[in-house]
Amino acid sequence: MSVSLRALVTGGGGFIGSHLCRRLLADGCTVTCIDNFASGLRRNIAGLLDDPSFRLIEQDVSAEPLPDDLQADRYYHLASPASPNPHTPRSYMALPLETALVNSVGLRNVLELARRRGGRVLFASTSEVYGDPHEHPQREEYWGNVSSTGPRSCYDEAKRFGEALCMIFVRSYDVDVRLIRIFNTYGPNMDPEDGRMLPNFITQALSNQALTIYGDGQFTRSLCYVQDLVEGVLAVMESSRSDAAGRVYNLGNPEEHTILEYAKLVLELIPANRSRITHMPPVPDDPSRRRPDITRAKSELGWEPRVALRKGIETTINYFREVTAVS
């Protein structure tokens, strides 16, 4: 990557976005972060604010067109709530309209700026576009099994529309847009109140509460450590393939475990806790299996996850200990 690149990251205060901002700065880029902190956290970028190569703009990227002075060489559109838990205020279930708009109107604003001023765009889509999949593991060619009217549709249908919007700009306006489908990711800078599986398990174990499993615990997930994910994001953005524009890549870890297995691992890694596991009714529209086929990313980009699950969860637990102690 050229050290002179200008990068714009929407959602740069979020979990993945904050790690991406740090990595871009470390690579010598100048970084503009746009975030209204609807789901991001200010503490995630607190250490970046004094860096002269970092600029924060507090703005809803969906509210109005982006001005031309935000021209960049690389646009990363990561802005969006991502947690499905309806009981947390920063989840897409709690912010359904905002979620639909940031993945449509907000994305269009980024694409229009790139169309006017030039630059390469990466859209962070999601494995949720596969819905509750009939194909396992999921390949990029799979069209998915998604409910357009279900409780999660504000997120997964918005991401599907976002992908279609990107392809319009690729085919009609010759904008260089790359697409990634992010599978379950974890690591430091996750919100302890995020409401997703791993933050719930860790915070419950640290406070000696029962670990809550929705359903019988036999649903599966595949967790990718955030630093591995960021490496994949950069590999897609900087790919020199002639067909890179409009090409979709799954980014995730194909190592699949049941939710019950993840709960038991957390209890093993926090030995001082006295927690037990309790079961609650299953969540509507919750996918029963989730595992990426990363053959394309591995063969075309040379990318695959490298951080072992146990090591990644240990690091995440240590982070949660720190932030919960401070708060």
> Averaged over 156-163, what is the pLDDT?
97
Q: How confident is the model at residue 183 (pLDDT cuts 50, 70, 90)?
A: very high
75, 76, 92, 155: which is the annotated catalytic residue?
155
**Helix spans in the chain (H):** 15-26, 96-102, 105-117, 153-173, 197-206, 226-237, 259-269, 295-301, 309-326
Whether residue 286 has pLDDT greater than 60: yes
CB 53 within 8 A of CB 6: no
Give the whole-angstrom CA distance, residue 49 versus residue 47.
6
Backbone angles phi, psi at 28, to 5 degrees: 95, 10
Taking only the tens place, the pLDDT of each residue in 6-22 is 999 999 999 999 999 99
**155 an active-site residue?**
yes
> Averaged over 229-240, what is the pLDDT?
98
Whether residue 224 has pLDDT greater than 70: yes
Q: How many CB atoms lie within 10 A of CB 234?
A: 20
Tell me, rounded to whole angstroms, the distance of Cα 319 from its chain centroid.
18
Collapse the DSSP code of 225 into the 3-class scheme (helix H, G, I; strand E, B; otherwise coil) and give the result.
strand
Whether residue 254 has pLDDT greater than 70: yes
Angle between helices 259-269 and 197-206 (to 10 degrees): 30
Domains of the chain, earliest start first:
6-186+223-254+292-306 (3.40.50.720)
Question: What does the mean pLDDT of the chain come to?
Answer: 94
| Bigger pLDDT: 109 vs 91 | 109
Amino acid 321: pLDDT: 95
Dihedral angle, C-alpha 116, 35, 154, 214, nearest 10 °: 150
